[in-house]
Amino acid sequence: MKIGVVGLGHVGLVTALVLAKHGYEVTGISKDKKKSEMLAKGEPTLYEPGIEEMLKENLKMMIFSTDYGRLKDAEAIFIIVPTPTVNERIDLSYIREAMEGITKANKKGVVVIKSTVVPGTAKRFSGEFGRNIVSNPEFTKEGTGLEDTEHPNRIVIGSSDEKSGNLVESIWAFAKSSVVRTTNENAELIKYASNAFLATKISFMNEIANLCERIPGADVEVIAKAMGLDERIAPYFLKAGLGWGGSCFPKDTKAIASFGKELGERMSIIEAAIKVNDDRIGRTIELAKKAYNKNNSLMGVKVGVLGIAFKNNTDDTRDSQAVKLVNRLIEEKAEVGVYDPKAKIDAMDNVKVHKSKENCIKGSDIVIITTEWEEFADTNVLAKGKPIIDTRRIISSGSAKNLYAVGIG
């Protein structure tokens, strides 16, 4: 079967790769010429464990192009383009552009929206373009995108046309995952509700971490572990830290909160989760001031920031809490040095970019661990007694002098 994938960001690329691995002839379309040329040569456009190898192994099953005309014979076309939040509202212009390109090239294939879109979007575009649209949201995490796409914990298919829904269900049959067949609107909302719930879970634990910091003897990690043993709570997404970033949680929480408001329903829990997340940066600045303990100011203090990616195992810095922290440190007039094993950080002004964690630590008065890369676990050994702020709980507690870790009283 020939399948089209429009949009070759993280989700688009992993979807294309997994489908090619399972025997589909995949045509990936990106309007970014450089991106499609690189992929056509087998060169990965982003970092994630396994992507480079999988691209090389399945290249013969794949075409990468900027030309929508290559989608002419596709039986199903997945739209996986960005849906940014602009001025608190979802911007659907990339979806529209994809619908226009697809419709010019191919009138019969089943169009599937995988991008995250507010409820009602599939119906609206279906009416405008006069064709059925299936909603098939994704639940992949960066860093483990291939595994999450090949073996998702559920497949959600929203459709008003049974035949189109059946086709999409058959495409994913290899995954052997639970399938939820429903309306487009439910499928669209399931994605937002899931992301907002996970983000809220993290913010909840971050608030418990704040409380722990005021109670000598308390440790949020121990509390999270014990809470997670309750099956009703589950052990996932309970890790307190610098807060959530990335291409999904920040934009999706804002989009669903404003969508609710427009419908006259205030999403007060989601709004609170956003506020708690925003406050993580200011709290870390305060902790750094306390740790350095000189005039309650960071002016001229050399601060080494370990990690710029929004989480480990990715080079993605979109909406990264670490980047926000660096910007706040600059406002505080600190001298900032950064290191990240994968993320590209050449675009940051007023920041010294180090090539190794050793150099970053050596050149600092105080070190802040901001991304959960495993290689930062020995920072306490390298820091030789300099204050360390561990916002990701990478260093085992009690093992370092001068360690200030999130969520420890």
How many Cβ atoms from other residues are within 10 Å of residue 230's Cβ?
A: 9
- Residue from 9, 28, 158, 246 touching ligand UDX (CB under 6 A): that is 246
Q: What is the 3-state secondary structure (H, E, C) of 148-197?
A: HHHCCCCEEEECCCHHHHHHHHHHCHHHCCCEEEECHHHHHHHHHHHHHH
| Residue 99 engages ligand UDX in binding (rule: CB under 6 A) | no
Task: Output the smallest distance, CB 221 to ligand UDX, in A.
Answer: 11
Say if CB 119 and CB 46 are below 8 A apart. Answer: no
Identify whether 248 is a catalytic site residue: yes
Which stretch, 72-80, 242-250, 263-271, 295-303, contacts ligand UDX (CB under 6 A)?
A: 242-250
Closer by beta carbon to ligand UDX, 258 or else 317:
317
- Residue from 45, 135, 140, 379 touching ligand UDX (CB under 6 A): that is 140
Q: What are the structure tokens assigned to 179, written together?
A: 């399938």
Q: What are the structure tokens assigned to 352, written together?
A: 């010294």
| Residue 204 engages ligand UDX in binding (rule: CB under 6 A) | no
Task: Output the smallest distance, CB 334 to ligand UDX, in A.
Answer: 22
Secondary structure of the chain: what % helix, strand, coil (to 5)? 45, 15, 40
| Residue 373 engages ligand UDX in binding (rule: CB under 6 A) | no
Say if CB 283 and CB 208 are below 8 A apart. Answer: no
Catalytic residue among 122, 198, 209, 248: 248
| Residue 114 engages ligand UDX in binding (rule: CB under 6 A) | no
- Residue from 47, 98, 101, 138 touching ligand UDX (CB under 6 A): that is 138
| Residue 48 engages ligand UDX in binding (rule: CB under 6 A) | no
Alpha-carbon distance 37 to 27, whole Å?
13
Element (H, E) at 302: strand 302-306
Pure H helices in 46-156: 51-58, 93-105, 121-129, 145-150
Task: Output the smallest distance, CB 63 to ligand UDX, in A.
Answer: 26
| Residue 139 engages ligand UDX in binding (rule: CB under 6 A) | yes
Task: Output the smallest distance, CB 333 to ligand UDX, in A.
Answer: 27
Q: Which residues bind ligand UDX (CB under 6 A)?
A: 138-142, 195, 198, 202, 237-239, 241, 244-246, 248-249, 310-311
Q: Which residues are catalytic?
A: 248
